[in-house]
Amino acid sequence: MAFCTRCGAELPEGALVCPKCGKPTQATVQPTVVSYVRPPTRSEFDILGAISAGGVLIILALTWLVYPNLFNIVIDYLSSFGTYGRPVMPPYTLGQPIMFFLDAIGIWGIVIGGLRLALMHFPRKAVGDIMTGVFWLTLSYLLSEFYRGHIQGTTLIPVAIIALGVLVIIGMILRVATKPFLGPRAT
């Protein structure tokens, strides 16, 4: 048996309002609760990210081993800025180690992206890894064309920026297109 909280009259069973005073009963008043529940986060360690960082360090060391005079070449190149009063295109002796490093990093990025897909370990990062690898390989190719004389120094940087823009657009399209297949996780 329920009673009205305003006038104290007995309420018939299932009454929406008090027959005496017209006050709505508890059944008609729904509490309005606005709350945000944060979805549980997965604190999964990205082991391939750590492996990738280790691979980059190994590639850096390999570049230094293959080109032991690299430090001296870099110092000479940087000191040439004072001679010309501005940054200049790196000489071929510096271009070779740069292209070696870019090729190795590009291939490494594609390999890590492929591993992410094969192992389904943060698979949506795979698109970024692969597209980054393709960019480094593209940049290495553009540098090689510059040193062969097929691309002018004044067009090398704009072409590299255009290549980066195209690869970013393709990467985002692939990332959105693969969302239904690889899952909603952005990581």
Instruction: Please give the radius of gyration of the chain, using alpha carbons only, rounded to the nearest integer.
Output: 32
The parent domain of residue 170 ranges over 65-182
Residues of the chain with pLDDT under 70: 27-43, 180-187
**Residue 100 and residue 151 in one domain:** yes
**Residue 9 and residue 98 in one domain:** no
**Residue 23 and residue 96 in one domain:** no
- At residue 89, the pLDDT reads 79
- At residue 152, the pLDDT reads 86
**Measured distance CA(167)–CA(138) in Å, rounded:** 10
**Residue 21 and residue 69 in one domain:** no
Q: Is residue 114 part of a domain?
A: yes
Measuring CA to CA, which residue among 130, 121, 136, 127 is closest to residue 49?
121
- Contact between 147 and 100 (Cβ < 8 Å): no
**Segment (H or E) for 11:** strand 10-11
Q: Is residue 47 part of a domain?
A: no
Q: Is residue 38 part of a domain?
A: no
**Segment (H or E) for 158:** helix 153-177
- At residue 29, the pLDDT reads 47
- At residue 186, the pLDDT reads 46
- At residue 104, the pLDDT reads 97
Placement of tokens 């590009």 in the chain: 106
pLDDT in tens, 73-87: 999 888 888 888 877
Q: How many domains does the chain have?
A: 2
**Residue 121 and residue 171 in one domain:** yes
